[in-house]
Structure 1
């Protein structure tokens, strides 16, 4: 069924809200203020509370609408449907407005906090790249002929692809030099390409030969979880406060995906801790104590251990064994011996494995998975008495729910900012600083 509707406001998951005969319809590839023709996903005789649909024709466009730079990710009716870039129809400035509006809305509904404004920061180089070439990790499936492909939404059809516009130049170069696009891969396989961003100048990035030299063997092409080309252990390098930090990370594990995020986010966290007023002095004359929860391979741990107070006592907790092994290696290689790097579920580890001298943190930094820290972990943080909590969130709804828990325990938001580390998609990274 098709219908003509007026788009009213932003919603979640890259959709907007319209109504048909009083029923809410969540519409993909729309923008507030537009009049569009849509095709509904569901039969209209169903009594669901809401329906979903997709734009098939724009009758009255928003000023924020642009021609999709990646047609394959556009609506089905326009030859797309492969997904991966659900805001491909929105200007970069419009995407920032979208993300601020949805973040404020969810924080009010679920977090019970009214925010006047939330700055949304673009990553260096994204405007020049038009929001493309930012992913240092990409994943695809192969079709029956071993060609990289993406599934077309709503079908089992796999559309062959010969490039990935969101991938960094380094990722595309690795794919090219290993013949990924030639279709010589196993059929019906999961493909992952991970390439740490070479920290070189723009001229080297633009020159394929110089770029290949900068990459060297520091990349991985994985097929069904096994390395086919390159190395499983990848080397990542970042700069914080002008100081280099080096990491070994697992090619199949988590690392901030945007090429600039591993530098921008730690620098922002360090700066916010320094600038946040309140009682940050170590209590009872002891060394500064910091908790780094959901710490991965130590992205935040290394800067926290050296840039705030080189005598600080840290506890890092991470559930993935490979990530913890890499974090411990990274700490040793950096000459840092003041961190108790623990492996385990955050809640259970906080219950039983914390060194008593580190049980009452002055600062808590947490970067939980998409589901958030959840209430019990927030209770633990609050009961620790930490004066400052820095929460890095990849999902606004999870942040909002955990905000409600923290505010119930006497915390308030001191600052909040969003980082557009997922351009062309509805996803956004948020950093909220809470004070007791």
Structure 2
């Protein structure tokens, strides 16, 4: 069903809001103020509270609309539909405005706090026009054995010969390894990973993984991140989690360290919790830069990541200051930490997209931690947990957003709370 919609405002998940005969419709590839023709997603259920759809034609365009830099990621009606870049129709300044509006709206609606949220773009992204930033990509072999992405609302696989969101170095690596040429067993998942600044041919610090097997490079990769003027080296699993933007690890780690250091004041032997700690992105600089007598508890659910965190702290010379625990965060805190780590002076957390949730927030509050630095990849989850923390006696000092996912609706956010 085709309808004409006047777009009203930004919404979450890369969509905008309009109305059809009083019913809400969430529209993909739209911008506020535009008049657009929309193909409504089927089936249409009469009792649904809202509809969804996608732009097929723009009748009155926003000043922030641009031609998609990666056309196959644009609207289906324009030959796109592969996903992965749902703001590809928005100018770079418009993307920042979109993300700022969404974070502020979620903080107001769900977090019950009205605040201005600046959005910082990573260095170099404007020059690259929002492209060439991913150090890891995941594809799948189509029926002809070529790397592909699935077209939305179909089983069709669209073969690709480059990934414009990936770094130029990663694209070059794929070419040198013959990935774009195909010849891969149909249906095989493909992961390519190349740490920032690396180039294939200079060593084996890269990975091509087909299915579960490393076909080239190695599984344990080395990442180097500069925090507070000091280089930290991390061993990370090529199949595991690591911030995918080439600048994100340094950008986020420096912001977290600055937030914590500036609030620890003269504490000579601080105790710090690093929750959902992964392979130790924040753990290493927190243990190294907040004082020689810092004591830390890091908690992470992935046992592989915890093993790597322990290795990383040992290489960094801070393993004696860090107790790295493997397990569910809520359950691990409930079971009790060693007495000397039970009263943190600061808590850093970087939970998955669903957020920390109420029980972990309550455990943080019960610990008496005067400082909480919360890194979030989902504004709604952050807002819900912010409401819980403020109900438990914390004040929101500030919120800072980072555009480390250009061309997409995703945004990373740092919120700092004090008691």
The alignment's TM-score, normalised by the length of structure 2, stands at 0.98
Matched-pair contact (CA < 8 Å) for 2:207–2:217: yes
Mapped to 2, the partners of 1:136 and 1:45 lie a distance apart of 41
Q: Residue by residue, what CA displacement relative to the aligned partner does 1:317-350 show, whole Å, maximum 9, x if unpaired? A: 0010000000000011111121011111111111
Secondary structure (helix, strand or coil) at the match of 1:31 reads coil
Secondary structure (helix, strand or coil) at the match of 1:90 reads coil
The size of the alignment, in residue pairs, is 418
Residue 153 of structure 1 corresponds to: 152
Secondary structure (helix, strand or coil) at the match of 1:361 reads coil
The alpha-carbon distance between structure 1 residues 11 and 338, as it changes in their structure 2 partners (threshold 3 A), is same
Residue 214 of structure 2 corresponds to: 227
Residue 200 of structure 2 corresponds to: 212
Q: Cα distance, 1:273 vs. partner?
A: 1.9
Mapped to 2, the partners of 1:338 and 1:383 lie a distance apart of 23
Matched, 1:421 2:404: yes
Matched, 1:141 2:140: yes
Mapped to 2, the partners of 1:2 and 1:428 lie a distance apart of 31
Matched, 1:377 2:376: no
Residue 188 of structure 1 corresponds to: 187
Residue 297 of structure 1 corresponds to: 279
Q: Cα distance, 1:287 vs. partner?
A: 2.1
Q: Residue by residue, what CA displacement relative to the aligned partner does 1:272-307 show, whole Å, maximum 9, x if unpaired? A: 22334xx7554xxx7210000000000000000011
Q: Cα distance, 1:412 vs. partner?
A: 1.1
Secondary structure (helix, strand or coil) at the match of 2:225 reads strand
Residue 251 of structure 1 corresponds to: 238
More moved, 167-176 vs 37-46? 37-46
Please provide the CA RMSD for this pair. 1.2
Matched-pair contact (CA < 8 Å) for 1:280–1:387: no
The alignment's TM-score, normalised by the length of structure 1, stands at 0.94
Mapped to 1, the partners of 2:48 and 2:42 lie a distance apart of 9
Secondary structure (helix, strand or coil) at the match of 1:360 reads coil
Residue 205 of structure 1 corresponds to: none
Mapped to 1, the partners of 2:47 and 2:306 lie a distance apart of 49
Matched, 1:16 2:16: yes
Structure 1 unaligned spans of 5+: 200-210
Residue 255 of structure 2 corresponds to: 268
Residue 90 of structure 1 corresponds to: 90
Equivalent residues in 2 for 1:101-116, closer than 5 Å: 101-115=101-115
Residue 203 of structure 1 corresponds to: none
Q: Residue by residue, what CA displacement relative to the aligned partner does 1:233-282 show, whole Å, maximum 9, x if unpaired? A: 00000111111100000001000110000111111111122334xx7554
Residue 37 of structure 2 corresponds to: 37
Residue 401 of structure 1 corresponds to: 384
Secondary structure (helix, strand or coil) at the match of 1:351 reads helix
Secondary structure (helix, strand or coil) at the match of 1:212 reads coil
Matched-pair contact (CA < 8 Å) for 1:140–1:148: yes
Equivalent residues in 2 for 1:305-384, closer than 5 Å: 305-336=287-318, 337-384=320-367
Q: Cα distance, 1:44 vs. partner?
A: 4.7
Query: Which contiguous aligned blocks of 4+ residues in structure 1 show a shift greater than 4 angstroms?
Result: 279-282
The alpha-carbon distance between structure 1 residues 353 and 43, as it changes in their structure 2 partners (threshold 3 A), is closer
Mapped to 1, the partners of 2:187 and 2:144 lie a distance apart of 8
Matched-pair contact (CA < 8 Å) for 2:336–2:342: no
Secondary structure (helix, strand or coil) at the match of 1:81 reads coil
Mapped to 1, the partners of 2:62 and 2:146 lie a distance apart of 37
Structure 2 unaligned spans of 5+: none
Q: Cα distance, 1:380 vs. partner?
A: 0.3
Matched-pair contact (CA < 8 Å) for 1:281–1:362: no
Mapped to 2, the partners of 1:354 and 1:168 lie a distance apart of 41
Matched, 1:178 2:177: yes
Mapped to 1, the partners of 2:338 and 2:354 lie a distance apart of 27
| Structure 2 residue corresponding to 1:432, chosen from 405, 415, 419 | 415
The alpha-carbon distance between structure 1 residues 219 and 47, as it changes in their structure 2 partners (threshold 3 A), is same
Matched-pair contact (CA < 8 Å) for 2:200–2:206: no
Q: Cα distance, 1:212 vs. partner?
A: 3.3
